[in-house]
Amino acid sequence: MVKYIENQDGFDQALKDAGDKLVVVDFTATWCPPCRSIGPKFEGHSENPEFSSVVFLKVDVDEASDVSENCKIGSMPTFHFYKNGKKIDEFSGADEDKLLKKLHQHK
């Protein structure tokens, strides 16, 4: 299941609630064609039992601009990976293979 983040407080709370679980964040925009391409795949991975211990978050950069500004998002889609509240990895682009590789690497 993907949790939609609406503001910085919600983002901070989601990271805190995750504890030591891997958190993967999809920074997206409704007007971004590559985002629309990878979005359903991101959601599909969130339902995969293999990733049941991973927290999947989605941030619309326009609706939650405070989060995207604080995370210094310059292009979409961008994926950030967190553990224990600290960013451990990131990449930009709608590359499902890279997303899967990093999910396996960090989970």
Q: Which residues are catalytic?
A: 32, 35
3-state secondary structure of 24: strand
Beta-carbon contacts of 35 under 8 Å, excluding residues fewer than 6 positions away, are 26, 28, 29, 76, 77, 94
Pairing outcome for strands 86-92 and 55-60: unpaired
State the chain's maximal CA–CA distance in angstroms: 33
